Amino acid sequence: MKTCTLAIALTLLAAPAFAQSEVDRLEAASVSAGANMEAFLVSRVPEIAPAIPDWEWDEEMRTAAACTLDAIRAEGGDAAVETYLDEMDVFAEVEITSMEQMATVTPVPINPDFAMQTGQACGTAEIAMRRMQESGLMEAMMVPDVMGRLMN
């Protein structure tokens, strides 16, 4: 469950106001927030550093992000997209200090059910999970001592 929460948090991260498009904003904030998350993880469990996935965006992720923004717009209109991006711009600057904080303050578009359904439908959840599995982060987080150190 905690790994799922982490994956959802990672898939929801978005971007700074200077970026050119909505997808660019989402990408910039996602990369920044990912770096903040990585700093937290490594501060608690330094040996996890080699298992941190590369969160740089590729075409697959940009397509999934565009799908997510389209779904937000279909559900809540332009205002919902702008609100989500604004919240993500702020979150991208937040210093992560706990797993609980990451799970509770990561902005969620519309509501948690919508965010989860959209993450699955658009593929962002699958991309995040795949990257965490390929890098070894998922396996590392299953080690009780590692999870214990992250949770304390």
Give residue 4's pLDDT: 43
Give residue 10's pLDDT: 52
Give residue 15's pLDDT: 36
Chain-centroid distance of CA 128 in Å reads: 8
Q: In terms of C-beta density within 10 A (0-12 exposed, 13-18 middle, 19 or more buried), how is residue 37 classed?
A: buried
Give residue 84's pLDDT: 96
Whether the model pTM is above 0.85: no
Q: pLDDT tens string for the chain (152 positions)? A: 444 445 445 555 433 333 369 999 999 999 999 999 999 999 999 999 999 998 889 999 999 999 999 999 999 999 999 999 999 999 999 999 999 998 888 899 889 999 999 999 999 999 999 999 999 999 998 999 999 998 88
Cβ-contact 97, 33 below 8 angstroms: no
Q: What is the DSSP string of 17-61?
A: TTSSSHHHHHHHHHHHHHHHHHHHHHHH-GGGGGG-------HHH
Residue type, 150: L
Residue whose C-alpha is closest to residue 23's, from 63, 53, 76: 63
Q: Where are the alpha helices (DSSP H) in 45-58?
A: none
Give residue 19's pLDDT: 39
